[in-house]
Structure 1
Amino acid sequence: MSNKEDNFKEQFKQALISTAKVISEDYKIDIKKIDKDLTSKKIDFFDVTNLSNKNDFVRLRAETDSGALKKKFSNKEIFNKNLPNNPSCKSLYNIAEKIRYEILGGKMLKGVKKNLIENYNQKIISTHKGQLKNKEDVPVTEAFELYMLKKFLNLELNAVSSKMLSFWENDFTSSIDKHLDFLNKNLEDQDNYSLKFSEILQNMDVFNSSNDDNNEDDDQKDNEQENKSENDDENQSDGKKDENKQNETQTSLEAGFDLSDHQTDKQMEDSESLKEDTENVMQKTNSNNVDQEYKIFTTEFDEIAKAETLEDIKEAQRLRKSLDQQLVSFQDLITKLANKLQRQLLAKQNRAWEFDLEEGLLDSSKLTRIIMDPYNSLSFMKEKDLDFKDTIVTLLIDNSGSMRGRPITIAALCADILSRTLERCSVKVEVLGFTTKNWKGGKSREAWAKNDKPKSPGRLNDLRHIVYKGADTQWRQAKNNIGLMLKEGLLKENIDGEAISWAYNRIKKRGEERKILMVISDGAPVDDSTLSVNSGDFLEKHLKKIVKFIENKSDVEILAIGIGHDVSRYYDKAIKITDVHELGDVMISQLAGLFENKNKLH
């Protein structure tokens, strides 16, 4: 190998290393071990010695990107928790998860998307199968990957790969196509996505056939390397898991919140019909278990939607522009608030830096050395990892009709300001909303009427829970969604207890050490349809029980902001504001207080 070629490959290797660290946001990762189960072989991403043509470079670049995306977007605990019980499904489950985090990476960085698609296209073109007569000639894993590339990445298959897929396509289509909308909407929610895929795969007729044995052998071969390294730890923990399983199950029933790490797929399926979305199943189970007196007539018509699916882009941009116009009059206040809150929070970080590194942020204080002597190397620095950064804040906003006008504007301003400010301080923020799909009960009430109107039916309206901004989504990517709160037709009834249970379950699954749930509301829960056929305090009692559980028995810190109303009768830690001008001092004092005390609030 010539020195020139050697130098080029070394530069390429260093570029891969830097790219992987930036994408994964982990500067200490061992890239060689980043993705043991990407293929059946353990990959050394930076083995550049055998690169001989353009295709090799494309492949290595794509595999490195994919491994880094797995580190960033794929939670191993969630992956293992939802792993199918049927061993034959595991390879397909693996491929489905890989496609999920690669799609997210492609949305985040166009260059990454280009690398991945170029590699897949190259793989499709280079496929040269011999005679293809029936299913036995095509492994189900290869066919499934082609199906996923076609349906989720919209890749065009060539004649050979199309024929390979054709033997299995009807099986995949009949089982998966009806769930495509749900799966695409939940790409950012690994738990929902992987649980749904696990259910789909285990119910596929494919895995009840004689092919199971062969598929199981292939799957065991694929995962042999990974299992070998983990068996010791798992064997040691299995005994403890079995010993504590009964107690943990009982605790989950008493608590009423999602402890799905201790539930099997079969238990989830038994709790509701397969037609119900996973989150709706959990929603119903949670509410009933926390409060045995709280009933729900049906969850069939409930909806959990991303804000961008509720309106077209033009309308979202128009509403965002309207919000920006209202922000203008508060611009000075917002700037002062953002700077003051940022100073308060950053001061509590006790920030520390490492200097004289070979990569990271450029250390501008050392640039004079380069000017004086160009042969001096550049010096870089990076911030040390601190516990403070390991924090997430969920903003749960009441989207009821009573919030229409100034209250919802103030709530939207709160969400916008806090998202931007906390993001600057390396605190992740999720923005959620809750309302109902209809006035007067909607389809739930119609179903109740057709069922001879049983007495005390419980909650009797169709819920609509909205994700305005995911925790891992940057503010600039979600800012139009926040403007959608101003859409009047969206604001209907408010059933707070179930909404808080839903938000709690989302934040509880996050890996951050600090978890703060902030509820922004204008008072008591109200739904005329429900209250007309139940006791007058039916929703209010449920809200109080949900809040008390979180305050007393969980590691999630909960805080409420009442807009124009005192909500302290529901929350131990509650504040009231009547105008956005009050937001500054209130937010600074309350948030700074939360971050100052790392112990659970009482």
Structure 2
Amino acid sequence: MTQQDIRKVRQEERVAELCAGVVRAFSGERDLHFRGRRLHRGRMPLPWFAPHLHPSPETDDFESFRGVADGLALRIAGSDATLHRTLQPEEPVERMLFEMLEQFRAEALVPEAMAGMRRNLRHRHEQWSLAFHHSGLTETARGLLLYAVAQICRARVSGEQVVEETEDMLEATRFALAPRIGHALGGLRRDRFDQAAYAVHALAIARTVATMLHEAGGDDEAPDARQNDTDDKRSVFSLVAEMDREIVEQHVSAQSGRSRLLEEAGAAYRVFTTEYDREHEAATLVRRELLAELRERLDRRIAAQGVNLARLARELRALLAVPERDGWDGGQEEGRIDGRRLARLVASPAERRLFRVEREEPLADCVVSFLIDCSGSMKEHAESVAMLVDVLARALEQAGVASEVLGFTTGAWNGGRAQRDWLRAGRPAHPGRLNERCHLVFKAAGTPWRRARAPMAALLRPELFREGIDGEAVDWACTRLRARSEERKLLLVISDGSPMDSATHLANDPHYLDHHLREVLARQEQQRDIAIAGIGVGLDLSPYYSHSHVLDLAASTGNAIFREVIGLMAGRHRH
């Protein structure tokens, strides 16, 4: 991934955070946030809503994103989702039209005092309309009909004009629509404050226009090239969905999907064999002489970074430590009377130091675990990641916080001995995970940094980086954390992509491991005893992690990159 790609991802993350803040502020719902460019309420994704609410970072400006945020806020605040689901039709094209009309109603409810919000909504509508038109979709009868309906209905509900650039193009279609939807169209603005009454008109328009769209489809194709009714519905719906698919595909985020095998009734994540699974002290896998060379290389990189370690330690102590009572300080001029000093008052009536105050010391009853993806694609980031966790482990120790550094990889490429056993067994269906799991301990939580200094350099050993089975690694790291006595526990997972093991994917399905990772994270987060966050190395990990941050390891110098991680610990980044 190039630096330009990373900058784009980070910019998208900042825009998403700002937009989510707008939606939360207006709607009053604190648990709304974007994950994978989709709005979520807690862990549940909200519907995609209308097609114009999906701007492209490639072509749309910031005002478009503000308009989308305002549109989402108005929809959540002004539309009864339960009522909408109850009323929406089953037929796909009708459902799409009904959804679009309900969004227009919600946007028409913008308060009169919020002229900026109205301007943002108008700007976003115009940008989407022109993109639809310039893409060539209005060159077909169906595309032009759909475009005309969107323009005419929004203009009627909002009381605003249609997009000026395409106004002349709509006249013939507007004339054809008038006798068929004129009555229902007149009711849209009249009943815009009553969702149920408005829905009656919206459903009538959706049914009529869906019929016209299917009829128009016949005019675009030769008789022998016409497809069945199901394909025609899909082609009509794709007029709107096509642009949105391109946006989602171009977004630089972790590729996540659903596993058919794990979704089947009663299906559970499987492991074909655990015979070859290993947990290693990382230092035992590297020759001592080579480990010393790698440590020197890591020290040079840290020195070049120019880190203020003492300052980092103070920031971490301020974040992770909590005040604890630690006795009393006597001889004070104010506070509580100290009975042991009253005799001095008799001997010296002017004595004022007769009080004591309770002493509080910051105590960091916390443990932080770094879980590093040691898959092949992480090789190029190994030195930067090693520098990051080494410095943070030292700073955490100075702040009085325990830390451990873990890694996960596989014992072989393409399945190794586990896959050979599966082949000998006759290739049974759904074997589950089909590789040799390898977990690495670079620094245990109970080990001081001074003793872990050399083992930490094993992160620079490229032979350790193979494939990644993330879900099992997260479970393993959480198990280790729960064995600790500290009250507060944090797990930071550092990765640059989705789980990947070629043998497992080929024997099961392509999303077997990333589906399992999502299940593991959902289960672990439900227990609420461990705060889990994902650090994406140039990649958005929000499809998996509720709390995540995109990190550009190459661009930041000094303490900046460490403050980003501290900000993630404090919950100041995407969630």
TM-score range, shorter chain: 0.3 to 0.5
Q: Taking CA–CA contacts closer than 8 Å with sequence separation of 6 or more, which of the two structures ends up with the larger relative contact order?
A: 2
TM-score normalised by the chain length of structure 2: 0.46
TM-score normalised by the chain length of structure 1: 0.44
Query: Greater Rg, structure 1 or structure 2?
Result: 2
